[in-house]
């Protein structure tokens, strides 16, 4: 047993989709979340800079005495997960392997689509991981650079969002039976994406898949928090405005939260 919180990092608010899933599956676990909204999106930045920012987020979480760190960000996972995992002595999880693994299990035609930020798509990491596990799959990738700014500006239900999703996903419609939402911001656009792709396409939420893995690793490393505590604390930090983070987080998590601004 280990009653310390789990640390989550993301370039901004997207990782909240993973936290929401954690609250559902493991409601007794405590959370420290840091979102680097001041520097989001990470997607178009050079790899060295993303790695540098990610380490700043990791080091911030370590000051909060977390028992595990979850990269609730595909871009950071693609660029820095292996390095951070190798250097820390607490478990470090990324969202890519759980998503890749779920996509393979979901696809019956072998035609898998992956959408993500420019950096995640340029890294080609989903295709690489999917093909390593299952070489007969066909993986099509597509960068959707408009999606994160839409979500970060709380416009994910707007007509701007609908237009951007319709236009961006046009090349995938009818081409795949499984679509990996390879960015934790994208589940906020899920309904629009499902409408565009059609009801038969299975959407893989890499963050939700990741929470199943968190549960298994908490067991394996014997790090579960006891369910005897009635009180569960969630701490949220952002590098940008706490009020705009709070607005989107409270809507998404359906609860009132405290958010603190932090300078890295």
Neighbours of 69 (CB within 10 A): 24
Does 185 appear as a known binding residue?
A: yes
Q: Are strands 6-10 and 68-71 parallel, antiparallel or unpaired?
A: parallel
The candidate with the shortest Cα–Cα distance to 167, out of 152, 150, 188, is 150
**Residue 108 in the binding site for a copy of itself (CB under 8 A):** no
210 tagged catalytic = no
Binding piece for a copy of itself, criterion CB under 8 A, among 42-50, 62-70, 130-138, 160-168:
130-138
Please state the closest distance from residue 78 (CB atom) to a copy of itself, in A: 15
Nearest-approach distance from CB 100 to a copy of itself, in angstroms: 8
Binding flag, residue 134, a copy of itself (CB under 8 A): yes
Measured N-to-C along each axis, helices 206-220 and 16-25 cross at an angle, to the nearest 10 degrees, of 50
Question: Does residue 43 have a known ligand-binding role?
Answer: yes
Q: Characterize the bridge pairing of strands 111-116 and 138-143.
A: parallel
Closest by alpha carbon to 104, among 76, 66, 132, 141? 132
Q: Could you say which of 59, 219, 241, 258 contacts a copy of itself (CB under 8 A)?
A: 219
DSSP SS3 for 167: helix
The number of residues that bind a copy of itself (CB under 8 A) is 23
Residues lying near a copy of itself in the complex (CB under 8 A): 1, 91, 93, 97-98, 101, 132-136, 212-213, 215-217, 219-220, 222, 224, 226-228
């Amino acid at each position: 047993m280990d009653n310390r919180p789990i640390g989550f990092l993301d370039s901004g608010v997207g990782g909240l989709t993973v936290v929401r899933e954690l609250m559902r599956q493991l409601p007794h676990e405590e959370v420290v979340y840091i979102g680097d909204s001041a520097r989001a999106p990470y997607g178009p930045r050079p790899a060295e800079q993303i790695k540098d920012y990610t380490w700043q987020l990791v080091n911030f979480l370590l000051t909060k005495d977390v028992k595990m760190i979850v990269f609730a960000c595909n871009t950071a996972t693609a660029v820095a997960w292996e390095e951070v995992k190798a250097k820390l002595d607490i478990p470090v999880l990324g969202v890519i392997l759980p998503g890749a693994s779920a996509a393979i299990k979901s696809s019956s035609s072998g035609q898998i689509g992956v959408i993500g930020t420019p950096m995640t798509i340029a890294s080609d990491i989903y295709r690489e991981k999917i093909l390593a596990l299952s070489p007969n799959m066909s993986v099509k990738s597509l960068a959707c650079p408009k999606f994160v700014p839409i979500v970060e500006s709380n416009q994910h239900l707007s007509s701007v969002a609908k237009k951007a999703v319709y236009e961006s996903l046009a090349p995938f419609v009818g081409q795949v039976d499984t679509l990996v939402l390879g960015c934790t911001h994208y589940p906020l656009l899920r309904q629009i994406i499902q409408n565009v792709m059609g009801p038969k396409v299975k959407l893989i939420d890499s963050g939700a898949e990741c929470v199943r893995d968190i549960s298994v690793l908490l067991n394996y490393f014997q790090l579960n928090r006891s369910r005897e505590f009635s009180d569960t604390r969630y701490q949220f930090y952002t590098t940008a405005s706490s009020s705009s983070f709070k607005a989107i987080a409270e809507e998404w998590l359906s609860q009132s939260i405290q958010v603190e601004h932090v300078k890295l």
